Homo-oligomer: A and B are copies of this chain.
Amino acid sequence: MKLTILGCFSASPSKNHFPSAQILEIGGTNVLIDCGEGTQIQLRRCGIKFNSIEHIFISHLHGDHFFGLPGLISTFRLLGRIKPLNIYGPIGIKKAIILMLKLGDSWTNYDLRFIELESLDPVLLLESERFSVKTIPLNHRIYTNGFLFKEIKNERKLLINKLLKLGIDKTQFSGIKKGNDGINAVGEIIKNIELTESKPKDISYAYCSDTCFNPIIIDLIKKCNVLYHESTFLDSHKDLAEKTKHSTAKQAAEIAKLAKVEKLILGHFSSRYKNLNSFQNQAKEIFDNVELASDGKVFNF
């Protein structure tokens, strides 16, 4: 997977800070996670093709997570999009978007599909051969979901050197990846197990923003490869985190530790902090493999 952070600050956009939005490249497609105001600008800056986005997942309906959506939907039309767009988000999102478009007597010339969420339990939103997406119910001031993305590795890994040595034709490769046996140059059948390695493990990414410290999610994100967890505040503002149902860097690290994830990415920083190093330092006291998100940064995993 390839994760591009478009924005990782809380509240309002400014010249150096964009609100929540990310592009996740998964299973050969791009999905957009949250869509704060200015997402279009960041998509341009990061060189991501608008038309590559197939699904949009909105965590909750605070402005810094969805005020960029009406504009993006309008732009898709201007760019001549024809393929459908699937939008997953809290109930109410459809009414808001449709009203914003209707006021301008606007429309889309592509199929705009809303999948509105209201369940307080985890829900499987999407399952294809290549990847799946599940909700992670979070605990914030309003109804909020995180999302667990899993890239499914269905194909075995070819032992290329061996295949070439045995004179097995390239036209067979696709079938061999799926588990078929091979036939060599003199017509002998070679067992699949001799031509391939077992398939790699599935890769998972959990997006958890916005939420208070909420250990209930541990089981849902257990051992995932990468966890993006909000850390709006530093430890010195723990009381404010509690009051506003946000997390501190330490609390995010505590979740990463309890869930035994491989890597933690911190984001959703309050713009009150001029220097973000303390977020990493405070989290590292609890969990070692921590990185800070920043607008435009790319993570490959």
Contact = CB atoms under 8 A, between A and B. Distances in A.
Contact of A78 (B12, B37, B93): B12
Contacts of A105: 141-142
Interface residues of A, number: 35
Given A44-B14, A105-B141, A70 B78 contact: no
A186 interface: no
A25 B103 CA distance: 29
A186 to B, nearest CB: 60
Interface in A11-43: 11-15, 37-38, 40-41
A159 interface: no
Contacts of A95: 99
Contacts of A173: none
Contacts of A38: 13, 37-38, 41
Contacts of A187: none
A252 B93 CA distance: 39
A114 interface: no
Interface stretch (A59-67, A215-223, A254-262): A59-67
A105 B11 CA distance: 15
A174 interface: no
A103 B106 CA distance: 22
The interface centre, meaning the residue of A67, A92, A95, A96 with most chain B CB atoms within 10 A of its CB, is: A67
Contacts of A12: 40, 71, 74-75, 78
22 contacts: A11-B75, A13-B41, A14-B41, A14-B44, A15-B41, A15-B44, A37-B37, A37-B40, A37-B68, A38-B38, A38-B41, A60-B104, A61-B103, A61-B104, A63-B74, A63-B100, A63-B104, A63-B106, A92-B103, A95-B99, A100-B100, A105-B141
Interface of A: 11-15, 37-38, 40-41, 44-45, 60-63, 67-68, 70-71, 74-75, 78, 90, 92-93, 95-96, 99-100, 103-106, 141-142
